[in-house]
Structure 1
Amino acid sequence: MKILIIEDEPQMLDNMRDTLEQERYLVETASTFAEASFKIGSYDYDCILLDIMLPDGNGLNLLKQLKDLGKEEGVIIVSANDSLDDRIQGLNMGADDYLPKPFHTAELNARVQAVLRRRNFEGNKYIEIGNVVIDPESRSLTIADKEVILNRKEYDILTYLISNKTRLVTKAALAEHVWGDHIDQADSFDFIYSQIKNLRKKLENATIKVGAVYGIGYKLELD
């Protein structure tokens, strides 16, 4: 899962990033309105942690930009500005939650997990498709009641395909979502193929498969 933190306080930003990376999320950051605006317009995320008070703009305008673009990222407003008006305005504009500073890291994790469940997995604690069960909290996979070990990239590829199960996912979108913004500098997507190959082997006994559309991308298939 890919998260964008928009926060201008360096220590707070580092603490949030470290906390979420320990939970094995792919985390990207922006510390200014301009940087955040560029990333929101250029990339997709599962969840955005949004500070309202930025040095060069109001975070609520970033929320408006996100909605104007028709994007569906989950948004948690994280701000020391505990104004009721700002909270109501943010929620009315489409934010999923509001977390006032200061907060405990356990609460941050819980809020992020709740938004991801609602946004990507219809609010369910477990993802169940046929004989496949995924526990997003422990990042574990079982197939026909037997645990199957996935590495971080294999797990991220699988859950991204599941969250987009009705869509064809292009190689570029998959690479950017699982490997991050720096993927723009890659010369090719060859590194994806080995991960997909290994994932397919591990799904041999599953009721889901990773299908390919030659030259375009991948799509989740059901047996």
Structure 2
Amino acid sequence: MKLLIIEDEPEMLENMRQTLERQHYIVETATDYSAALHKIGVYDYDCILLDITLPDGNGLELLKTLKASGKDEGVIIVSAKDSLDDKLAGLNLGADDYLPKPFHMSELHARVKAVLRRRHFDGNPHISIGNVSIFPETREVMVENQPLVLNRKEYDILMYLITNKKRLVTKTALAEHVWGDHIDQADSFDFIYSQIKNLRKKLEHATITIEAVYGVGYKLEVIS
């Protein structure tokens, strides 16, 4: 899962980033309105943690832009502005939650998990597709009730394909989502091919398969 933290306080930003990276999220950051506007325009995220007060703009304007573009990222407003007006404005604009500062990092993690569960998994604690069951909170994967051992990237690829099941996922979108926006610096997609090849082998007894669309990307299919 890929998150974006928009926060201008360096210490707070670093604490949030470290906390969420320990939970195996891909975490990207922006410290001002301009950088955040660029990132939400170019990349896709599962959840955005949005501060309202930024050095060069208002976080609520970013939220308006995000929703006007038709993107469906989960949004949690994280702000020291603990007023009813700000909370209602954010929720009315389409935010999923509002977390006033100061807060415990454990609460931040719980709020992120709740938003991701509601948005991607209809609130269920686990996902079932074919004979595969996935438990996102523990990152466990089972095939016919037998544990499947995946490395971090294999798991992230599988989750991204499952949350986009029946859709064609381009190689670029997959790389950006699993490896972050530094993927722009990569010379080729060989690292994706390698991870997909290994993942396919591990899923040999599963009733799902990863289909390659030559020159474009991948699609998850359920084997009937």
Q: TM-score higher than 0.5 here?
A: yes
Tell me which residue corresponds to 2:17.
17
How much does 1:166 deviate? Answer: 2.4
CA distances 1:162-218 after superposition (whole Å, capped 9, x unpaired): 000021000000001000001111121111001000000111111111111111100
The yes-or-no answer on 1:2 pairing with 2:2 is: yes
Within 5 A, what are the aligned runs for 1:83-94?
Answer: 83-94=83-94
Tell me which residue corresponds to 2:142.
142
Tell me which residue corresponds to 2:41.
41
Task: Give the aligned length.
Answer: 223
How many angstroms apart in 2 are the aligned matches of 1:73 and 1:82?
23
How many angstroms apart in 2 are the aligned matches of 1:102 and 1:9?
12
Tell me which residue corresponds to 1:71.
71
TM-score, normalization: structure 2? 0.98
How many angstroms apart in 2 are the aligned matches of 1:31 and 1:57?
11
Tell me which residue corresponds to 1:113.
113
SS of structure 1 residue aligned to 2:5: strand
Name stretches of at least 5 consecutive residues in structure 1 with no aligned partner: none
How many angstroms apart in 2 are the aligned matches of 1:22 and 1:71?
27
How many angstroms apart in 2 are the aligned matches of 1:106 and 1:142?
27
Tell me which residue corresponds to 2:162.
162
Structure 1 runs of 4+ aligned residues shifted over 6 Å read: none
Tell me which residue corresponds to 1:132.
132
Please say if residues 166 and 221 of structure 2, whose CA atoms lie closer than 8 Å, have aligned partners that are also in contact.
no
Tell me which residue corresponds to 1:203.
203
Amino acid at match of 1:138: T
How much does 1:130 deviate? Answer: 2.1
Of 184-193 and 18-27, the range deviating more from structure 2: 184-193
Amino acid at match of 2:112: V
Amino acid at match of 2:221: E
Tell me which residue corresponds to 1:181.
181
Amino acid at match of 1:173: A
Within 5 A, what are the aligned runs for 1:94-113?
Answer: 94-113=94-113
Amino acid at match of 2:61: N
CA distances 1:129-161 after superposition (whole Å, capped 9, x unpaired): 121110100111010110011111000000000
SS of structure 2 residue aligned to 1:49: strand
SS of structure 1 residue aligned to 2:154: helix
Of 121-130 and 135-144, the range deviating more from structure 2: 121-130
How much does 1:70 deviate? Answer: 0.6
SS of structure 2 residue aligned to 1:14: helix
SS of structure 2 residue aligned to 1:77: strand
